[in-house]
């Protein structure tokens, strides 16, 4: 049986599936259809047990927070993870994308990776960075890159800034110090830091080896998400973000300054520390945030809400409601609900 909800909101019966006339007219309508009676759950999207032993999954055509959202819930015989295995490469030489992708990079399928193994190699913030994946184009200032860092030693008379991006740093182990032009940020696991585009800094190891993740944001800068119906409180509160007080170095010593520019790195020699800002005022600064201060919200009756309710920071795109990057936190929390105690559903999402 097939049903649709038209602009009037009324349900109308349609031709059963399997006949030539089995179409549901309408543009942007909400449709209901089932090839077996009772296969479509009623009253919820993700019951603990679907009829016929089916698997409930969501296909998202927009970001969760886009208005209006576009998504279709599917109930499958096999979960989508079963429809994917190892891929082999084929050539479609006339179908290319910008920017050109390294042909040896395998991007399809489901992947996971181990942490970067510890090593006796001497690695700084620059030499210890490893790119895992990229999206968009650094030259057009759209998209991002995801890196893993392993740092075993401090930068000594070395300084760095990125003209390409701001960096979101998520430590996994060890402690780092970001000595920046605008002050000092000490960072440990369960904290994050934002290093703005164009800010000069040096990274020192306070407790090592230090390992973690970096999200390199080419696009619009991170901001707090709009809370919408959540209201004025919960999630990440503005007062919990910390910017450093002024601190400076008045020190002459042969040093290097490395710049990341259009995906390339350039270095110059200077005779002093560039961290010599004695005072500053404004609203463009590095900051850190303690993730244990984040107040999550969740379901209190049934179903799994979209993970967008766990957004800590978002970097908007040119499309309202669709982010260039979302940084989402799944911290410890109670997950109690009626008739829906099961892992969150698998779904495809064009935003990511």
Q: Are 125 and 158 in contact (CB under 8 A)?
A: no
Q: What is the pLDDT of residues 105-148, one digit of tens each?
A: 666 777 777 878 899 999 999 999 998 888 899 989 999 988 99
pLDDT at 15 over 50: no
Task: Based on the residue annotation, tell me whether 304 is a catalytic residue of this protein.
Answer: yes
Whether the pLDDT of residue 100 is over 70: the answer is no
- Distance CA(32)–CA(160), nearest Å, equals 56
How far apart CA 308 and CA 327 sit, in angstroms, is 9
In whole angstroms, what is the distance from residue 181 CA to residue 244 CA? 10
CA angle 24, 27, 29 (to 5 degrees): 70
Q: For the whole prediction, is pTM greater than 0.85?
A: no
- Catalytic entry in 83, 118, 147, 304: 304
pLDDT of residue 3 exceeding 60, the answer is no
Distance of CA 39 to the CA centre of its chain: 34
CA distance linking residue 304 with residue 347, whole number of Å: 12
Q: Give the Cα separation of 284 and 38 in Å (integer).
A: 56
HSE-CB for 338 with a 13 A CA cutoff:
5
CATH 2.60.120.10 in the chain: give the residue spans: 129-223+235-293
pLDDT digits (tens, 9 = 90+) for 315-340: 999 888 899 999 999 999 887 888 87
Peptide bond into 68 cis (omega under 30): yes
Q: Does domain 129-223+235-293 correspond to CATH entry 3.40.50.300?
A: no
Rounded CA-CA distance 343/345 in Å is 6
pLDDT of residue 9: 35
Backbone torsions φ then ψ of 210, nearest 5 degrees: -110, 135
């Amino acid at each position: 049986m097939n049903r649709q909800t038209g602009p009037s909101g009324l349900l109308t019966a349609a031709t059963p599936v399997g006949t030539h006339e089995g179409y549901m007219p309408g543009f942007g309508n909400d449709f209901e259809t089932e090839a077996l009676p009772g296969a479509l759950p009623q009253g919820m999207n993700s019951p603990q047990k679907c009829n016929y032993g089916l698997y409930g999954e969501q296909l998202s055509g927009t970001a969760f927070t886009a208005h209006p959202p576009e998504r279709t819930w599917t109930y499958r015989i096999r979960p989508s993870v079963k429809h994917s295995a190892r891929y082999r490469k084929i050539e479609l030489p006339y179908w290319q994308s910008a920017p050109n992708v390294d042909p040896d990079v395998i991007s399809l399928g489901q992947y996971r990776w181990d942490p970067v193994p510890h090593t006796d190699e001497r690695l700084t913030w620059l030499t210890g960075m490893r790119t895992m994946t990229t999206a968009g184009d650094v030259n057009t200032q759209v998209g991002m890159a995801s890196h893993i860092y392993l740092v075993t030693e401090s930068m000594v008379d070395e300084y760095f800034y990125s003209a390409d991006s701001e960096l979101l740093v998520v430590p996994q182990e060890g402690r780092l110090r970001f000595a920046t032009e605008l002050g000092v940020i000490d960072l440990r696991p369960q904290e994050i830091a934002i290093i703005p585009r164009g800010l000069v800094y040096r990274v020192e190891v306070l407790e090592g080896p230090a390992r973690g993740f970096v999200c390199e944001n080419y696009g619009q800068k991170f901001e707090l998400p709009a809370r919408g119906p959540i209201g004025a409180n919960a999630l990440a509160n503005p007062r919990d973000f910390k910017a450093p007080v002024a601190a400076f170095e008045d020190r002459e010593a042969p040093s290097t300054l490395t710049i990341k520019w259009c995906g390339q790195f350039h270095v110059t020699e200077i005779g002093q520390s560039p961290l010599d800002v004695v005072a500053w005022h404004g609203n463009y600064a590095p900051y850190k945030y303690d993730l244990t201060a984040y107040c999550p919200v969740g379901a209190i009756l049934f179903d799994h809400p979209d993970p967008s309710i766990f957004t800590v920071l978002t970097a908007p795109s040119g499309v309202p409601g669709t982010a260039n990057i979302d940084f989402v936190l799944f911290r410890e929390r109670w997950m109690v609900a009626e008739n829906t105690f099961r892992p969150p559903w698998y779904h495809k999402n064009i935003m990511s």
